[in-house]
Amino acid sequence: MSYTKLKFQDLLEKSEAELQQLLREKKMELFENRIKLKTMQLRDTSIISKLRKDIARIKTAMRQKRGN
């Protein structure tokens, strides 16, 4: 599984619905990776912190869109 970092500028160009969908996907991916971590199946543990940062970026973009 390869990880690609989300760019904030790209997030700002997405619609509110797209951001909601992306947020759901990232939260599910984080959940699955946490389960893998607990069962000792996760090789790259840094993915968890990367996903958490992506979720924060998405939430920030959503708040910024609502504020404008």
Q: pLDDT, tens digit, for every residue of 42-62? A: 999 999 999 999 999 999 999
What is this structure's pTM?
0.89
List, in sequence order, the alpha helices (H) in the chain.
Answer: 8-12, 16-38, 46-67
**What is the percent of the chain with per-residue pLDDT over 90, rounded to a whole number?**
85
Which tens digit of pLDDT belongs to each residue from 28-38?
Answer: 999 999 999 99
CATH of the structural domain 11-67, one choice from 1.10.287, 1.20.120, 3.40.50, 1.10.3470: 1.10.287
Q: What angle do CA 14, 19, 22 make, to 5 degrees?
A: 120
Extents of the domains making up the chain = 11-67
Most distant CA atoms of the chain, gap in Å: 44
pLDDT at 3: 77
- 54 with 26: CB under 8 angstroms? yes
